[in-house]
Structure 1
Amino acid sequence: MIAFMTDDRPARGTTGAEPDEPTFFGHPRGLMTLFTTEMWERFSYYGMRAILLYYLTDTAANGGLGLDDATGLAFVSIYGTSVYLLTIVGGWLADRVIGARRAVLYGGVIIAAGHVLLTIPGVGFSMSGIAFVALGTGLLKPNVSSMVGDLYARDDDRRNAAFTIFYMGINIGSLTAPFLVGWVREWGGYHAGFSVAAIGMAIALVFYVAGGRLLRDAGKDVPNPITRDEAPALVRGGLLLLLAVAVAMLLGTWAGGGWSIDAFIDGMSYLAFAAPIFYLTLMYRSPKVEDYERPRVLAYVPLFVAATFFWMIFEQAATTLSEFAKDSTDLTFLGTEVNPEFFQSVNPASIIILAPLFAWFWKKTKDQPPTAYKFVIGLTFAGLSFLWLAGVIVVMDGADAPAWTLAMVYVIQTLGELCLSPVGLAATTLLAPKAFRNQAMALWFLAPAAGQAITAQLVQATEGASQVAYFGWTGLVAVGVAVVLLFLSPWITRHIRHADALEAKRSDGGDEAPSAL
C-alpha cells in the first residue's frame, strides 16, 4: 500500500531499528508487535461492544438482561466513559509505578478475565465481566499507544505515518469482530458471542509476549517514579480521589431519588466532566512542567474540547446507531440479509481503504494543514454524518431506511476520524509535557469519556423526541463547535510554534525550530 512505502531510515530514538535490521514497512519492528497486539485487543473489545446493547435490552427469555431502551443506551455510553476514565489510572501507574510495558501486559490479563466472566450466564457475572474489561482497557489502552510514540524520536517524520499504520491494526480487528461475534450470537446466544471476544484477547496476549524483544526499551522505563518524600502527598491525593468518586455517586443518587443504575450513570457522567478539567489544570500548574511546555498545554485545551464533541457523535455507533440499525433499517445490503451488527464493521472497513490514502496525503503535504485545522475538518464531518441521517429519516417518512444510507453515516464519520483521531494521538505525544507523557495519553482518552457521558445524559433527556430532532440538532451543535474552532486555529498554531521556539532556544541556543504541528 502507498502509505506503507516509507523509507528505511532507522528511527532517531533509542528504540528504533539499527541501520542493517529489517523493518516493518520502513518502521521499527516493534511497531509490528504493537500493531498485532492492539489489533486482537480491539477485536475483543469491539466484538463484545457489538452485541452489548442488544444483550442489555433483550428480554430474559431471549438471554438478555431486560433493561429498558433508554437505560440500555445510557449504560453502554457510560460503560465507554468508564473505560476511558480508567485510562487515568493506567497512565498514572505506567508513569509512576510499573512502566508502560507491564501496564499493557497486566491490562491484557484483566481484560481476558472479564471476557471469560461474560461467557457465564447471570447478572453478577455479566456486571463483573464488564467492570474487568473496563479496568483492563484502562491499563492497556493509553500505554500501548504511548509505546508507539516511544519508538520514534521527536523529530522523526515517520511518526504520523506510524500512528496511521497502528490505527489500521485497530480497524482490522474491529472490522472482523462484529461479523464473527454477530454470527456466533445468532447461532449460540449472547454468551457464546462473548466467548469469541475472550479468544481474541488471549491471542493479543500471545502476540505481545512473543514480540516483546522487538520493542527494545520502549515502555520499560518508569518516566516519573515515586519518591519516598512524595508518599504523604500521594496518600492525600488517593483519599481525595476516593472522595471525588463518592461525591459524584452521592450526587447521582440525589439526582435520581435513590441508588439505581441511573444514579450510577449520572455519577460517572459527573466524573467524566470533572476529570479533564482537573487534569489539564494539574498539568498546567505542575512544577515539573517546564515554562516552554505550558503554551502547548494551553493549545491542547480547544483541541480536547473539539475531540470531545467528535467522540460524542462517533461513539454512538454502539448506542443510537445500533438501535437505528435494529429498529429502523432495512437489513438487506447488496441483495444479502445482514444482521444489525454488520454496520459496526463499515467504519473499520472504510479505515482500511482510506487510511493509506490519508497517510500518503499527509506525507506529501508535509502534514499540512496544521493540526488545529485537521480537527476542524474532522468535527465537521462528524456533524454532517448526523445531519445526513436526519435528512434520510425525513425523506423516508416513516419507512425503514435503506441499508446503504446508514452505511454512509459511518463512511462520513470515517473521513472525519482520519482527520482527527490518528492526528490527535500523534499530537498528544508531541504536546505532552515530559513528566506527563503516559498520563497525557490518558488525557486524550478522556475526550471520548466526556463525549460518551454527554451521550448518556442526552439519550435520557431526549427520550421520546423524534429521530429527526435528535440527530439533526446533535449534528448542528457539532458543526457549530467546528466553526468556533476554525476561528481559534491561528491562536492554537501560534502557541504551539512559540513553545517549539522556546524549547529550541533553551536546548542549544540556535535558531527557532519549525513546529511539527
Structure 2
Amino acid sequence: MANYDRQKIVASVPQTGFFGHPKGLFTLFFTEFWERFSYYGMRAILVFYMYYEVSKGGLGLDQTLALSIMSIYGSLVYMSGIIGGWFADRIFGTSKAVFYGGILIMLGHIALAIPGNVALFFISMVLIVLGTGLLKPNVSSVVGEIYSEEDARRDSGFSIFYMGINLGGFLAPLIVGSVMNTSFHLGFGIAAVGMFFGLVQFVTTKKKNLGLAGTYVPNPLTGDEKKKTYTIIGIVVAAVAVLIAIAIPTGLLTFKSFINLVGVLGILIPTLYFIVMYRSPKTNEVERSRLIAYIPLFIASVMFWAIQEQGSTILASYADNRTQLNFAGMTISPAWFQSLNPLFIIFLAPVFAWMWIKLGKRQPSIPQKFSLALLFAGLSFLVILLPAYFGGTDSLVNPLWLVLSYLIVVLGELCLSPVGLSATTKLAPAAFSAQTMSLWFLSSAAAQAINAQIVQFYTPENEMAYFGIIGGASIVLSVLLFMLAPKIQVFMKGIR
C-alpha cells in the first residue's frame, strides 16, 4: 500500500475515543471479542458433541475418530487464513473479508444449532473454516491500518485488541459449557448469536469509526487477471466437487484418508513455503541465513502447539472421563477447563511483558525463549501423568491437576507466541513479509495435522506412556534447542 494511501486512511479514522485510542479500535475490539466468543464457545463443546451418544444429544462417533476430526478441523482453520488473506489482498479488501467471514461463521453455527446428522455437521465445519479464514487474519490487519507507522500507541492498541480475544475465549466456554448437558444445539445457538452481535456492531459502527480502513485492495486483480482467476477458481471448485462425488461412494475418501491427506498438507505446505522463499532471487544472502535460523524455531513452534492444542482434544476428553467433576460442592462442566488458558494469559501476559523489559539485554535470546516454551510444554504433560502414576487409571482425578497443567503450558505460550510473532517480522525476507507471517500461523496448522495422527494412540490404559513420551520428547527438543541457540543466533545476523 502506498504511503499516501496509508496517511489518507489514518486521517479518515477518528483518532481518539476508545481509552485514548482511535475509535476504530472499539469496533475491531468487539468484532474480535464476539468472533472469539462464538469460536471458543463452539470449540469448547464440539468434541463432546461428536462422541456423545445420540441418546445424550451427540452424534455418536467413535471417540478416537472425534479427537482426530477435532485436530483436523483446527489445522484447516489455520490453513484457510492463506485463502482469506489472498482474497482480501487481491479482490475485496480486509473490511469486506471480515464481514463475509462473519456471515459464514454465523451460518456454520446455525447449522450446528439445528438437530441433524453427520452431513449437516460437516457442512457447518466447512462454513466455519472458510469464515474464520476470511475474518481472523484480516481483522488484525485492519487494526494496523488505523494507526500511523510512527504512532506510539500502536503496540498498546494491539495489546487491548488481544485482550478482547482472551476475554471472548474466557467467557464463552463458561456460558456455552453450562448449557451443554441441557442441549448441545442450544450451546451452538448461543455461539451463533455471539457472532450475530459481532456482525451487527461491526456494520453499524465501521463507517463512523473505521473511515477508509479496510476498504483499500492492496494488490487488486486487473481485468484480465480477474477473468483468468475466476475461471481457475471455478474449475478447481468443480473438479474438487466431482472428485468428492466419486471418491466417497467408491470408498477412496474416508475419514481416515482425509485425515491422512490433511496431515500431509500440514507438513508439505510450510516446507514448500521455505523452499520458495529461500530459492527466490528476491531473497538476499543475509535473508537466506535468517531463514535457516527460522527453521529450528518453526519446528519448535510445531512441537509446542502440538501439545498446547491438545487442550481442546485429549485434555478435553480427560476432563470429561478422568476428572472428578463434583468438586468443592459444585458440579463442573468439562468445557469450563478451556476457559483456563485465556484466563491465565489475561493475568500473566502483563507480568511477562514487565519481566522482559526489566531484564533488558539480560533477557534470554529468541531461541532460548523457545527452548523454555518447549520445557514448559513438556512439563505440562508430565504433570498430568502423575495422577495415574500415584492413583492408577481407574480412579477419578482431582481437577486441580488439570488446572496446573493448563497453567504450566500457558507459561510456555507466553515465552513463544508473542516472541514468535515478533521474530517472524524481524527474520522475514523483505519480499515475503506477509507470506512469512502466514508461515508462522502454519506452524499451528502443521501441529494440529500431526495431532490428528497422534491422538489415535491415546487410551486410558496407555495414558502414562502417551503423556510421558510426548512430554519427554518436548523436553529433549528443548535441551537440544538451548544447546544450538548460540549457533542459531549467528545465522540470525544481528537479530535478537
Query: Normalising TM by the smaller chain, what interval?
Result: 0.7 to 0.9
Q: Secondary structure at the match of 1:466?
A: helix
Contact 1:80 1:449 in 2 (8 A): yes
- Superposed, 1:112-131 pairs within 5 Å as 112-123=106-117, 124-131=119-126
Q: CA distance change for structure 1 residues 198 and 79 in 2, over 3 Å: closer, same or farther?
A: same
CA distance in 2, matches of 1:375, 1:19: 38
* TM-score, scaled to structure 2: 0.86
- Residues 1:454 and 2:450 are matched in the alignment: yes
Q: CA offset at residue 437 of structure 1? A: 4.6
Structure 2 partner of 1:405: 401
Structure 2 partner of 1:479: 475
- Residues 1:378 and 2:378 are matched in the alignment: no
Structure 2 partner of 1:263: 257
Q: Secondary structure at the match of 2:180?
A: helix
Greater Cα shift, 343-352 or 42-51: 343-352
2:181 paired residue among 156, 179, 186: 186
Q: CA offset at residue 174 of structure 1? A: 1.0
Structure 2 partner of 1:415: 411
Structure 1 vs Structure 2 CA RMSD: 3.5
Contact 2:13 2:22 in 1 (8 A): no
Structure 2 partner of 1:501: none
Contact 2:14 2:24 in 1 (8 A): no
1:144 paired residue among 132, 139, 142: 139
1:375 partner letter:
F
Q: Secondary structure at the match of 2:114?
A: coil
Q: CA offset at residue 87 of structure 1? A: 1.1
Q: Which runs of 5+ in 1 are unaligned?
A: 1-12, 499-514
Structure 2 partner of 1:335: 329
Contact 2:13 2:209 in 1 (8 A): no
Greater Cα shift, 93-102 or 309-318: 93-102
- Residues 1:350 and 2:331 are matched in the alignment: no
Greater Cα shift, 114-123 or 436-445: 436-445
Q: Secondary structure at the match of 2:181?
A: helix
Q: CA offset at residue 484 of structure 1? A: 2.7
- Residues 1:109 and 2:118 are matched in the alignment: no
CA distance in 2, matches of 1:479, 1:231: 50
CA distance in 1, matches of 2:284, 2:26: 34
2:168 paired residue among 169, 173, 180: 173
2:294 paired residue among 296, 300, 311: 300
Q: CA distance change for structure 1 residues 119 and 242 in 2, over 3 Å: closer, same or farther?
A: closer
Greater Cα shift, 439-448 or 301-310: 439-448
Q: Secondary structure at the match of 1:86?
A: helix
* TM-score, scaled to structure 1: 0.83
Q: Deviations over 1:389-420 (max 9, x none)?
A: 11232122232110111111111111111222
- Superposed, 1:18-97 pairs within 5 Å as 21-22=15-16, 24-25=18-19, 27-97=21-91
1:181 partner letter:
V
Structure 1 partner of 2:3: none
Q: Deviations over 1:78-128 (max 9, x none)?
A: 111111111111122223333323222211111111111111111232221
Q: CA offset at residue 473 of structure 1? A: 0.7
Q: CA distance change for structure 1 residues 125 and 240 in 2, over 3 Å: closer, same or farther?
A: closer
Structure 2 partner of 1:311: 305
Structure 1 partner of 2:387: 392
Q: Deviations over 1:453-508 (max 9, x none)?
A: 1111012245576110101111111122222322343344444445xxxxxxxxxx
Q: CA offset at residue 446 of structure 1? A: 1.2
1:358 partner letter:
F
Q: CA offset at residue 225 of structure 1? A: 3.5
Q: CA offset at residue 167 of structure 1? A: 2.6
CA distance in 2, matches of 1:119, 1:497: 52
Q: Which runs of 5+ in 2 are unaligned?
A: 1-5
Q: CA distance change for structure 1 residues 205 and 275 in 2, over 3 Å: closer, same or farther?
A: same
2:270 partner letter:
P
CA distance in 2, matches of 1:23, 1:494: 45
CA distance in 2, matches of 1:324, 1:355: 27
Contact 1:383 1:478 in 2 (8 A): yes
Q: CA offset at residue 203 of structure 1? A: 1.6
